[in-house]
């Protein structure tokens, strides 16, 4: 193959070298992919602000949970599997402050890590990168821990994911309150729909639906279902044997903790999980 550029002539004997150039639109600037790199950069958006949230949500889980035969209005096995997804995401996402789970969704609120003058977002805050990874991680986590999963089922178990920037600590707390409010409304709706017909519930507000549940076996739903669950890291002081010193020394251990996201838990625990620490490499809250 002979190729000419700027008055110079190039010759290739190798079929592979020929193949590299022997395609339509074979100008060298085209082949370098600059145009596509630019298009990719234009499509990329970045996180900003002191905090961000990623929310993953099961695709078409109303049909999936029905097909799998999960209990209604709530299924403790399904909730445990979703808790596993939440914990995996908490560990997967750099700078994660906490994970909040309700129904088929998990929100992880996270922050950039590192010293104050050089804080870095997980994957540089590239939204496409981090939402695609979070969705994929949620899907594989769910499948690996869902003991009821029927392999012959025609359902693809997939989670979508979205990310948003949060402007302040207050904004991060507000975001959590918003998802918790959604959990409360949805759980009342799901409970009411097991006892009343669509016609009876048509146009009835969440508050009135809660009133309709009074006096039934669903008048009080489990806290973890009604409010959702919070997963976060705590530090605990313990002791460990230090062979160099030849004695027990005090060490700090990090543990995963879970609790129903009651109002008290949210108010008492969440502010301390959001604190930016100076050398927050792995952002243990």
Ligand X SMILES: Nc1nc2c(ncn2[C@@H]2O[C@H](COP(=O)(O)OP(=O)(O)OP(=O)(O)O)[C@@H](O)[C@H]2O)c(=O)[nH]1
* Contacts to ligand X by CB under 6 A: 57-62, 65, 70-72, 74-75, 78-79, 103-104
Task: State the number of CA atoms in the 13 A half-sphere of 94 facing the CB.
Answer: 14
135 binding Mg ion? (CB under 5 A): no
Q: Shortest gap between Cβ of 217 and ligand X (angstroms)? A: 16
| Among ligand X, Mg ion, none, partner that 162 touches (CB below 5 to 8 angstroms by kind) | none
Helix boundaries (H) for 93-217? 127-145, 169-195, 198-201, 206-213
Nearer to ligand X, 63 or 275 (CB): 63
H/E element, 124: none
| Among ligand X, Mg ion, none, partner that 249 touches (CB below 5 to 8 angstroms by kind) | none
Q: Shortest gap between Cβ of 77 and ligand X (angstroms)? A: 9
Pick the binder of Mg ion from 83, 104, 146, 173 (CB under 5 A): 104
Asked if 104 contacts 61 with a C-beta cutoff of 8 angstroms, the reply is yes
137: nearest Cα among 170, 110, 166, 160:
160
61 binding Mg ion? (CB under 5 A): yes
160 binding Mg ion? (CB under 5 A): no
| Among Mg ion, ligand X, none, partner that 78 touches (CB below 5 to 8 angstroms by kind) | ligand X
Nearer to ligand X, 119 or 162 (CB): 162
Nearer to ligand X, 146 or 173 (CB): 146
Q: Shortest gap between Cβ of 211 and ligand X (angstroms)? A: 22
Greatest C-alpha distance within the chain? 91
Nearer to Mg ion, 82 or 212 (CB): 82
Asked if 185 contacts 206 with a C-beta cutoff of 8 angstroms, the reply is yes
> CA end-to-end span of the chain, whole Å?
62
223 binding Mg ion? (CB under 5 A): no
Q: State the Cα–Cα distance between residues 236 and 249, nearest whole angstrom.
A: 14
Q: Shortest gap between Cβ of 156 and Mg ion (angstroms)? A: 13
Residues present in the chain in total: 285
- With vertex at residue 24, the alpha carbon angle to CA 21 and CA 26, rounded to the nearest 5 degrees, is 40
64 binding Mg ion? (CB under 5 A): no
Asked if 43 contacts 132 with a C-beta cutoff of 8 angstroms, the reply is no
At 40 the three-state DSSP class reads helix
Q: Shortest gap between Cβ of 186 and ligand X (angstroms)? A: 7
Nearer to ligand X, 217 or 250 (CB): 217
| Among ligand X, Mg ion, none, partner that 74 touches (CB below 5 to 8 angstroms by kind) | ligand X
Q: State the Cα–Cα distance between residues 226 and 127, nearest whole angstrom.
A: 31
Question: Using CB under 5 A, which of the segments 52-60, 192-200, 211-219, 253-261 binds Mg ion?
Answer: 52-60
Which chain residues interact with Mg ion by CB under 5 A? 57-58, 61, 104
């Amino acid at each position: 193959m002979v190729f000419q550029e700027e008055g110079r002539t190039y010759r290739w004997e190798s079929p592979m070298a020929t193949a590299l150039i022997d395609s339509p639109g074979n100008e060298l600037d085209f082949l370098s992919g600059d145009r596509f790199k630019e298009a990719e950069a234009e499509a990329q958006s970045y996180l900003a602000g002191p905090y961000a949230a990623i929310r993953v949500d099961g695709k078409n889980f109303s049909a999936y949970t029905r097909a799998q035969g999960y209990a209604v209005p709530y299924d403790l096995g399904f909730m445990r599997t979703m808790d596993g997804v939440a914990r995996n995401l908490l560990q997967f996402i750099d700078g994660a402050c906490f994970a909040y789970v309700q129904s088929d969704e998990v929100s992880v609120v996270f922050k950039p890590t590192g010293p104050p003058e050089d804080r870095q977002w997980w994957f540089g805050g590239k939204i496409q990168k981090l939402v695609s990874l979070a969705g994929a991680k949620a899907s594989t986590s769910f499948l690996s821990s869902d003991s009821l999963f029927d392999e012959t089922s025609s359902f693809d178990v997939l989670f979508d994911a979205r990310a948003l920037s949060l402007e302040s600590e207050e904004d991060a707390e507000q975001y959590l309150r918003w998802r918790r409010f959604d959990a409360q409304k949805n759980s009342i709706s799901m409970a009411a729909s097991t006892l009343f017909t669509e016609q009876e519930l048509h146009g009835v507000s969440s508050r009135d639906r809660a009133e309709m549940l009074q006096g039934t076996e669903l008048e009080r739903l489990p806290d973890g279902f009604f409010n959702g669950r919070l997963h976060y890291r705590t530090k605990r002081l313990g002791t460990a044997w230090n062979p160099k010193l030849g004695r027990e020394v005090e060490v700090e251990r990090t543990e995963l903790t879970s609790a129903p996201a009651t109002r008290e838990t949210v108010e008492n625990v969440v502010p301390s999980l959001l604190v930016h620490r100076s050398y927050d490499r792995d952002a243990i809250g």
